[in-house]
Structure 1
Amino acid sequence: MSPFVVKALQLLLSLSILIVLHELGHFIPAKIFKTRVEKFFLFFDVKFALVKKKIGETVYGIGWLPLGGYVKISGMIDESMDKEQMAQPPQPWEFRSKPAWQRLIIMLGGVTVNIIVGFVIYASILYFYGRDITTVEDLPQGFAVAQEFKELGFEDGDNILKVNGNDFQNVTDINKYLFLRDVSSVTVKRTDGSVETLSIPEDIGEQMFKKGVMVPFQAMRQAVIDTVDPDYPAAAAGFLKDDRIVSVNDTKVEYWHEFQNALLKEAENTLVVSRNGALDTLRVTPNENGVIGINNFGKELQTGGTKLTYGLGESITGGTVYGYNILKDYVKQFKYVFTKEGITQVGGFGAIGNLFPGEWSWLAFWHTTALISIILAFMNVLPIPALDGGHVMFLLYEMVSGRKPNDKFMEYAQMVGFFLLIALVLFANGNDIYRAIFGG
């Protein structure tokens, strides 16, 4: 099965699970408050549904358009734009007849479920799989450092001991910390054994983003190939797993980052590799994206990393903290969407699908599903009409002012929000198509 199909299946399954659970978050409190739910659909049933069945007062079904899902609650101005119903006198079972605090709970139900689902998945992963980290001992050769960070005093071979004066357990998290956390100092251990503390600029995250240096620290890895991607230039040129790269265009290399720096992105490259004790010369030209299709994922680390195990109580606490940090980091980096560089990186279903691996892995599937669940929670709570956050915004206004926005205003707001969302979906997926065609 092709990697594309595997990714697509994982995306479809993940979104289906999260959409159903999100809508249950609205459905359950609606039923608790005796509010009629007319429809409960996975995907949208524009014109027709693939499957539907009425049970009690609710029609349950699966639509054909996989852009989300919905519950249609009686007496609520939503994407259905049911003006005929809203023109009738309010009924006791309708959403509009319920107290504002009940309506607020119903609207926050989906977001709340998405947050809980993310935390529960992370806790389950810690309990059943544990967590792999990389310590200083696991990285004896230290890090290869981007040139921009050498200007701050870092050197190739540095290892991370402390951040802001605190011991740093998982050293490969340093890139994320620099980009998203408030880091003022980093203490490193040099190749000669000396220890030095370096000051970090306050705006280091913005500098990383603008310069496109998102991974300034990479594990110092031997220039040994551990995977050759099929259908890429390297496979056609004859590269094999376990080849050790000796030189690139007459430049001697020992480590993977040296190979990456020496490789020409838009011309033919001459590489000398060591294979079974003999040297072989291979020539390869990168594809239109500047990629030849060989990788080194650091499998030669001295101990293979350190595995942490968690008891039940530890996994619940650890999963909650981990999920909270994921949410906090996502919120913090959201500001970059509104920059010139960030807007071009907004992605749609293609970008989300690429979060999944090309080979089926339940661990990776649940990791990514938890991440998407937390992202969906944040995106849904944005104060945009047609999203849960838009409804919450108007409900809070009503609760504070004591005045309920009139139905005509809500209809117009819903229409504006709907068209805004459609524009965003088209733009995000357009970015995916552009990147697929032109690279980047």
Structure 2
Amino acid sequence: MDIVIKLSQFLLSLSLLIILHELGHFIPAKLFKTRVEKFYLFFDVKYSLLKKKIGETEYGIGWLPLGGYVKISGMIDESMDKEQMALPPQPWEFRSKPAWQRLIIMLGGVTVNFILAFIIYIGMAFAYGETYVANSDLKDGVWITNPAIENIGILTGDKIISIDGQKIENFDDDTNMKVIMAKEVVIERNGKQQTIKIPTDFVDKLSKHEKGLLISPRMPFVVGGLDESSKNTSLKPKDLFVTLNGQEAKYYDQVKRILDANKGKTIPAVVLRDLKQTTISVTVSKAGKLGVIPGSLDIKSLEKLGYYKISTKEYSFAESIPVGLTKGKNQLVGYGKQLKMIFNPETKAYKQVGGFAAIFNIFPSSWSWETFWSITALLSIMLGVMNLLPIPALDGGHVMFLLYEIISGKKPSDKFLENAQMVGFVLLIALLLFANGNDIYKAIVK
């Protein structure tokens, strides 16, 4: 069932983004009286799953879910329709239109992608508001869950003060990405501030460890249940550790450290059960385990027990607009920085480029509209930025040649554009094979 939910979200998000992107080309083409021969979701190599011709345009769904397209008359695109291009130009064809109209048609797809992302972020701000923990409330610091972070000098219990000179006011999911992209992080440890330099190849170092959040608020150790072979029958579901072997065990990382130091021993423990402290004994296995299934607490319970004050901001529709625009801008800038890292060989970030499997795995196995829209907005930005790359066969390649034509007054020959399209197509296939090959390699190695 989990795979069905992930697949449903993946296909719904992908379909929405493709249809709207292609609609961004379709609408201005129609406004400028340019004939659109096909409008397809997914590729119809050899045959279509569904198709219907309305007016001069054939609408359909292909069987190959690698994207979608609109076929515009008189345009050198992935169809490589040389027969049509060999005929005299017709008034309804793309090539017969003024350069500025062709430029608007080509920019339509990415424009819709960016607008969609900003609209989603505005809608999310209005519908869900903003939930966060004030950085000042993380009095016991953060929890480091990836060894690569520890290796560069940021430890559990440290407080994140600033990232690349920007003071961290609130701790949220974006904090992790900011650390990944950072050049330096200022932390506070034992009342003293330190500056941690982030290595150039940090992304590559991270990839060698299990994925997930790198840094999070420190969480309590909660008993979710017992393994069948567990000797600790004195523990009950929802028990929350207070002390272990006389030492403070307020947080999960503290419990883990104490268990590792007392392997094979029976030690006293104080747990919080039904809001009352109870003293018991627990047996630690030789592997440093208690034989329990870790549980978790919801936000309200964490707040009630005094771990954190959870702040929630609600926005009116008018207030949601600047909040959503700021969120969209930050995500756009952040993704631009990621691309810069990928194209910098020193970072080795290119090793982490993923294909369809990587995108598929972003989606959770349980349905959450908030998560779905958040991922879709980010993918929309990614699609827009990627399509703007100046590679022939992408929108950015067409835009590059059109700008040259507008500035120089000279239009590249059809033969040149055909050859450029072929080169761009080969480059795209190579990138596609590389990205999806990375997914396969990671799956095999894992």
TM (norm. structure 2) is 0.80
For the residue of structure 2 that corresponds to 1:363, the secondary structure is helix
Counterpart CA distance in 2 for 1:347 and 1:216 is: 19
Matching residue's letter, 1:366? W
Does the aligned pair in 2 maintain the 1:348–1:429 contact within 8 Å?
Answer: yes
Point out the more displaced range, 427-436 or 378-387.
Answer: 427-436
Q: 1:315 — aligned with what? A: 320
Alpha-carbon separation, structure 2, partners of 1:293 and 1:32: 61
**1:6 and 2:5 equivalent?**
yes
Change (3 A) 1:100 1:295: farther
User: Is 1:176 paired with 2:177?
Assistant: yes
Q: What are the within-5 Å matches in structure 2 for residues 133-152 of structure 1?
A: 133-136=132-135, 138-144=137-143
Q: Higher mean Cα deviation, 102-111 or 154-163?
A: 154-163
Give 1:329's aligned residue: 334
Structure 1 residue aligned with 2:406: 399
Would you say the 8 A contact 1:237–1:283 is kept in 2? no
SS at match of 1:66: strand
3-state DSSP class of the match of 2:50?
strand
Task: Give the corresponding residue for 2:392.
Answer: 385
Partner residue of 1:256 out of 233, 249, 252: 252
When residues 408 and 160 of structure 1 are mapped into structure 2, their CA distance, relative to the original with a 3 A threshold, is same
Partner Cα separation in structure 2 for residue 326 and residue 297 of structure 1: 30
Please tell me whether the aligned partners of residues 222 and 294 of structure 2 are also in contact (alpha carbons under 8 angstroms). no
Match of 1:206 among 194, 200, 205: 200
1:108-147 pair list within 5 angstroms:
108-136=107-135, 138-144=137-143
Larger deviation, residues 403-412 vs 303-312: 303-312
Is contact 1:237-1:284 (8 Å) kept? no
Q: Is the 8 A contact 1:74 1:95 kept in 2?
A: yes
The letter for the 1-side match of 2:361 is N
Task: Give distance in 2, aligned partners of 1:270 and 1:389.
Answer: 63
- 2:220 counterpart of 1:222: yes
How far did 1:178 drift? 3.5
C-alpha deviations, 1:315-353, integer Å up to 9, x for none?
Answer: 111111101110101111212223373222111111111
Task: Note closer, same or farther for the CA distance 1:149–1:355 as it changes in structure 2 (3 Å cut).
Answer: closer
Give 1:55 deviation, angstroms.
0.8
Bigger Cα displacement from structure 2, 388-397 vs 206-215 = 206-215
Q: For the Cα contact (< 8 Å) 1:36–1:57, is it kept in 2?
A: yes
Structure 2 matches for 1:335-346, cutoff 5 A?
335-338=340-343, 339=345, 341-346=348-353
Q: Structure 1 residues 284 and 360, CA, compared in 2 at 3 Å: closer, same or farther? A: farther
- 1:163–1:437 Cα change, 3 Å: closer
Deviations 1:246-300 (A, max 9, x none): 999xx99764346778999xxxx989897985535568799xxxxx996768854
5 Å matches for 1:179-194?
A: 179-180=180-181, 186=186, 188=188, 194=191
2:223–2:293 CA contact under 8 A, matched in 1: no
Match of 1:415 among 403, 414, 422: 422
> 1:346, 1:57 → 2: CA distance?
40
Does the Cα contact within 8 Å between 1:107 and 1:388 map onto a contact in 2?
A: yes
Whole-Å separation in 2 of the counterparts to 1:336 and 1:261: 36
C-alpha deviation, 1:211, in angstroms: 3.7
Cα contact 1:127–1:315 (8 A) shared by 2: yes
Which deviations, in whole Å up to 9, do the C-alpha atoms of 1:62-81 show, x marking residues without a partner? 11111000000000000111
Spell out, residue by residue over 1:71-119, the C-alpha distance to the aligned partner (whole angstroms, 9 max, x if none): 0000000011111100000011100011111101100000000000000
Correspondence for 1:289: none
CA shift, 1:385, in A, is 1.0
Residues 230-260 of structure 1: CA distance to partner in whole angstroms, max 9, x if unpaired? xxxx978779964768999xx9976434677
The unaligned stretches of length 5 or more in structure 1 are 229-233, 287-291
- AA at the equivalent of 2:180: F
Matched letter for residue 179 of structure 1: I
CA gap 1:174/1:87 in 2 versus in 1, 3 angstroms: same
Matches within 5 A, 1:79-94: 79-94=78-93
User: Structure 2: any 5+ residue segments left out of the alignment?
Assistant: 274-279
Letter of the 2:384 partner, please give it.
A
> 1:352 is matched with which residue?
359
- Residues in 1 aligned to 2:195 and 2:363: alpha-carbon distance in whole angstroms: 36
Of residues 251-260 and 407-416 in structure 1, the stretch that sits farther from structure 2 once superposed is 251-260
Separation in structure 2 between the aligned mates of residue 386 and residue 99 of structure 1, nearest angstrom? 20
How far apart are the structure 2 equivalents of 1:86 and 1:241? 72
Number of residue-to-residue matches in the alignment: 414
CA RMSD of aligned residues (A): 3.8
Paired residue secondary structure (1:344): helix
1:279 corresponds in structure 2 to 282
Q: Could you tell me which amino acid in structure 1 is paired with residue 171 of structure 2? A: V
Which has the higher Rg, Structure 1 or Structure 2? 2
Q: Following the alignment from structure 1 to structure 2, what is the Cα–Cα distance between the partners of residues 419 and 236? A: 56
Tell me, yes or no, if the aligned pair for 1:178 and 1:205 is still in contact at 8 Å: no
In 2 relative to 1, CA 127–147 (structure 1 residues): closer, same or farther, beyond 3 Å? Answer: same
- Cα distance change of structure 1 residues 111 and 295 upon mapping to structure 2, 3 Å threshold: farther
- 1:144 Cα shift? 3.4
Name the structure 1 match of 2:277.
none
Q: Structure 1: how far apart are the matches of 2:152 and 2:434?
A: 38
Distance 1:65 1:207, change over 3 A: closer
| TM-score of the aligned structures, taking structure 1 as reference length | 0.81
Which secondary structure does the structure 1 equivalent of 2:60 belong to? strand
1:209 Cα shift?
A: 2.6
The corresponding residue for 1:58 is: 57
Compared CA separation, residues 293 and 176, structure 1 to 2 (3 A):
farther
**Structure 1 residues 106 and 271, CA gap change in structure 2 (3 angstroms):** farther
Q: Distance in 1 between matches of 2:422 and 2:258?
A: 53
Give the 3-state SS of the residue equivalent to 2:75 in structure 1. Answer: coil
Aligned residue for 1:231? none
